[in-house]
Amino acid sequence: MAERHGSPALNASHLVKLQWGLMLVALGVLVYLLGPVLVPFAVAALLAWLFDPLVTRIQRRGPSRLLSTVIVSLLITLVLVLVVLIAIPLLERQVAYLVEQLPRYGEWFRGSVLPWVEERTGLELATYFNPDTVIELLREHWREAGGVASGALGHITRSGMAIVGWLFTLFLIPVVGFYFLRDWPLFIEAIRGLIPRPLEPTVSLLARQSDEMLGGFLRGQMLVMLGQGLLYSVGLWIVGIDLAFLIGMGAGLISFIPYLGATVGIVVAIIAALVQHGDLLHVVLVLVVFAVGQTVESVVLTPWLVGDRLGMHPIAVIFAVLAGGQLFGFIGVLLALPAAAVAMVLLRYFHARYRESDLYQEEGGARRVLVAGDDPDGDRAPP
């Protein structure tokens, strides 16, 4: 009589998978329901993860974990204060100046660019390209953006509970972040202790590799972007470009896509130099600024701060950014490279498992026979 039930081991395996599935579903529902409450905790945990290596490095020099956390927290606060007091107002003034100068850029385009292109192509483009229309659209969108921001601020101001919620969140993030940063090793050990013992070595290995690759890349890349932005901004300011900070920091912030930041920065800076000064000397000086910036980035900043932690080809980086933007919008662009870094770790792990599997070994054995000179049809025996 045939056995009607499977083996106990198989049933136990199915039960474990069912339990894990139910736990994941319950966790997902809980995260969905508590989403608004978890936002400050998630931001605080992200900050703690980013700055934990710095706290650990200071701690190794002698201070306690608590004192090291206080020092790093004060440094973060100082940087945020400088950004709020210096960088944001300067950026706002540069954007306002650009909006005021748009008619001047339109006149330069109509009086210099279009005649130059028409002379070399024989096409009459002036009837099809009207820079005044584009300028008016940009001004309208700028006014609409300001109106939307003012309306949103006014709505928040009129809503007392909204003000309380925003202030509470802003206050909660640094407080929770401080405790996360102080007790980060304890949290990691607690999470590791919850992992099932058979899976713990593999999960810990993948987590450690992801942390080393992703954390090192993000910290280094942010510093490289900031360094490039400052180099471009100072260089363009020395050259005499009025929009130096806006162009330089913009080129630096998009430099995480290989060659895009420098290309966009060069084009925009050359246009600004031609409109403002109208001579070849300033164009050459702009090119020198970006050449020096690219040299410093490739020789000093990237090898020192980033190295080869991500290990992705530039085409893969561009594809990851475009795919993230297509699927999830601006948030997808921000998360594209971190997700790609984690995916790289997982793909390398599965690739190694595949190389060790019977499927690959059999296929590899067949290739080795062919390389040895054997006939795949069996007409000639191996020597």
Helix/strand/coil for 3: coil
Burial of 92 (0-12, 13-18, 19+ CB in 10 A): exposed
Structural tokens at position 50: 């980013």
Of 257 and 64, more confident: 64
| Neighbour count for residue 231 (Cβ, 10 Å) | 21
- Domain-wise residue ranges, the chain: 36-194
Of 287 and 13, more confident: 287
pLDDT digits 0-9 by tens, 156-181: 445 555 566 667 777 888 888 899 99
Mean pLDDT of 320-347: 74
Q: What is the pTM of this model?
A: 0.66
| pLDDT of residue 371 exceeding 60 | no
Cα–Cα distance between 255 and 292 in angstroms, integer? Answer: 15
